[in-house]
Amino acid sequence: YASFALTAGELRTEDGDAVLPVTVKNTSDDFSGKEVVQLYVGDDKATVVRPKKELKAFEKIELNPGETKSVTLTITEQDLKFWDEAKHGWTLEPGTFTLYIGTSSADIKQKLKVKI
């Protein structure tokens, strides 16, 4: 099987969205393969019960042995909101969010903190 290494670049803002470049390398010497790069978001101190990680962006890529490619994952303001039953609307709470970059919710390669 192919194996992959992920490295997150510097988080930047474009048109109000958070944009995260991720470099993916096929570390296998012999096998081509496909991988799904995933970006999860967790609200560190939510006032409501929320999952620890919520999938917000992903991209599937195919790499030859030793090949490296970059993917760009984007998070919008809406991606950080939750449905507030008391207000009957979407709410964005200020605070610290953790961005989890990996190939599944159980295989996280990097974490980044973001303040809103």
Tokens of 104: 């599944």
Amino acid letter, 27: T
Q: What pLDDT is stored for residue 47 in this prediction?
A: 86
Q: Report the phi/psi class of residue 55: left, alpha or beta, with left for phi > 0 and alpha for psi in -120 to 50.
A: beta
Q: What is the C-alpha separation between 97 and 80, in angstroms, rounded?
A: 9
- Using an 8 Å Cβ cutoff, are 37 and 59 in contact? yes
Find tokens 């510097």 and name the residue.
10
Three-class DSSP category at 79: helix
> Block means of pLDDT (10 residues each) for the chain, length 116 residues?
94 92 96 97 91 96 98 94 91 93 95 90
Q: What pLDDT is stored for residue 53 in this prediction?
A: 96
Structure pTM?
Answer: 0.91
Q: What is the C-alpha separation between 17 and 25, in angstroms, rounded?
A: 26
